[in-house]
Amino acid sequence: MARPLRPLPALFLPICCLIQGIGGLIGGVGLVSSPDGSGFGMPAAWLQGRLFENYLIPGLILFTVLGIFPLTVAVGLWRSRAWAWWASLAVGGGLVIWIVTEIVIIGYRGTIGVAAWLVFGLLGVLILVLALAAATRRYFGAGRATVHAL
């Protein structure tokens, strides 16, 4: 049986995961290559007394969890793999959690950070909205019982 045409939310979902993956790779490489934060104008002093001494570990997390993982999910979504629908929920939720955690740890530090938080926070919410759209759930075979279990 032929797969039905991909609905718009299911078309934009892998694109959003791709955008997130690219952003995660760029941010991760930037933080790993300059763990003092100088590459992004984020001094390591912002982390003083916090969980990390510098941006190396956050950079590695950003590169893998919010870079490589969303790219893998984007490919899975594009190939219409059912597991990728579940994984897209993890990408969207993980991104929102990352942004909230970053705000709590670093705090307000000027407009550049706020703009990035806004853009990527909204991207995380958009990924969740697209994934949970009825047309997307139908397309990937995630029925009502699945969504109610969430």
Q: Each residue of 96-125: pLDDT tens digit?
A: 999 998 888 877 766 567 888 889 999 999
pLDDT in tens, 23-40: 999 999 999 999 998 877
SS3 helix, strand, coil % of the chain, rounded to 5?
A: 75, 0, 25
- Tell me, what's the pLDDT at 51? 81
CA distance 6 to 19: 19
Residues present in the chain in total? 150
At residue 37, the pLDDT reads: 83
pTM of structure = 0.87
Amino acid at 148: H
Q: What is the pLDDT of residue 111?
A: 59
All structural domains of the chain with their residue ranges = 8-149
Averaged pLDDT score across all residues of the chain: 88
The answer, yes or no, to whether residue 79 has pLDDT greater than 90, is yes
What is the pLDDT confidence band of residue 139, given thresholds at 50, 70 and 90? very high
35, 55 Cβ separation under 8 angstroms? yes
* Residues 28-77 pLDDT 10s: 999 999 999 887 778 888 887 778 889 999 999 999 999 999 999 999 99
